Structure 1
Amino acid sequence: MSTLEEHIDISVPVERAWDVLHRAEVYPRFLNGVREARAAGERRTHLDVDAGGRTQELEVEIVDREMENVMTWQTRIGPDLAGTFSLLPIDREHTRLQARFEYDPGTIKDSFGGPQGFAQAVAIERGVRSDLEQFKELVEAEATR
């Protein structure tokens, strides 16, 4: 398994970021490649993901450690992927979102296509970084409404 860790600072309180992170219907607005997302039960989310021009269905189990502001996820249907989102208060109005993504490079290549090796790692890193920046924009824009 390979692991990627990224973080971004967001100008909203932890509670606001936590709320948006748990609204499956907004995932397509900040997760590149997600066409549709919906809750599929208390701890499950169904995702339709663009996988090299075709749709791949994923079902993700989400486990919260709410007291710690940590959300872990693991695919239950689809390729074996996992990750963690941790929200850390910087102060009352600012939050650091730390993302950890665990994946098997072969699984990513087989399931989603794209480059291999170092080029794949760079592409995944760029994608995760872009997703975090889009999340930041979404959460901060909602906060000004």
Structure 2
Amino acid sequence: MSTLEEHVDIGAPVDKTWDCLHRVDSIPQYVDGVREAHLEGKRTHLDLEAGGPTRELDLEITDRTTEKVMSWQTTGGPDLAGSVSLLPIDRGHTRVQARFEYDPGTIKDDFGGPKGFAQAAAIERGLRSDLQQFKSLVEHEK
């Protein structure tokens, strides 16, 4: 498994950021390639457009609310996992740390695209972009 970690500082309190993180229907607004997201029982269902035909992916999400950590793992399909941790900087600012765990072969086989260093660079750019879009969503939400 390969691991990628990125972070972004958001101009919003940790509780507001946590609430935004848990709005499943807003995932397409900040995760590139996600066309639709909704809850199905305890799982989050995603419709993706990533490197080819549209595909579906289910995630099992676990929260450690008191620590402000959300972890996720795919169920079925490609073996992907990650976590998002929120750390208060001060009363009005939050650091969002994202961790993404993946097998490079799985990404290539299931989603297409480059492999090797080019793949890692593309995934890193994508995660940074998603974090910036999440920052914009949180900061501009009333």
**TM-score normalised by the chain length of structure 1:** 0.96
State how 1:4-83 maps to structure 2 within 5 Å: 4-41=4-41, 43-83=42-82
Name the counterpart of 2:112.
113
User: Contact (CA 8 Å) 2:69, 2:85: kept in 1 or not?
Assistant: yes
Q: Count matched residues.
A: 142
- Partner letter of residue 120 of structure 1? Q
Structure 2 residue identity aligned to 1:18: W
Q: Deviations over 1:72-125 (max 9, x none)?
A: 000003211000000000001000000000000000001110000000000000
Identity rate, percent: 69
Gaps of 5+ in 2: none
Deviating runs (4+, > 6 A) in structure 1? none
Residue 106 (structure 2) pairs with residue 98 (structure 1):
no
Q: Secondary structure at the match of 1:25?
A: helix
Q: CA deviation at 1:51?
A: 2.7
Of 100-109 and 43-52, the range deviating more from structure 2: 43-52
Distance 2:52 2:40 in 1: 24
SS in 2 for 1:27: helix
**Contact 2:14 / 2:88 at 8 angstroms: preserved in 1?**
yes
* 1:41-98 per-position Cα deviation (integer Å, ceiling 9, x unaligned): 1x31000011323111100000000000000000003211000000000001000000
Q: State the AA in 2 paired with 1:127.
A: G
Q: Superposition RMSD on alpha carbons, in Å?
A: 0.7
* Structure 1: distance between partners of 2:29 and 2:54: 17
CA separation in 2, counterparts of 1:52 and 1:8?
26
5+ unaligned residues in a row in structure 1: which ranges? none
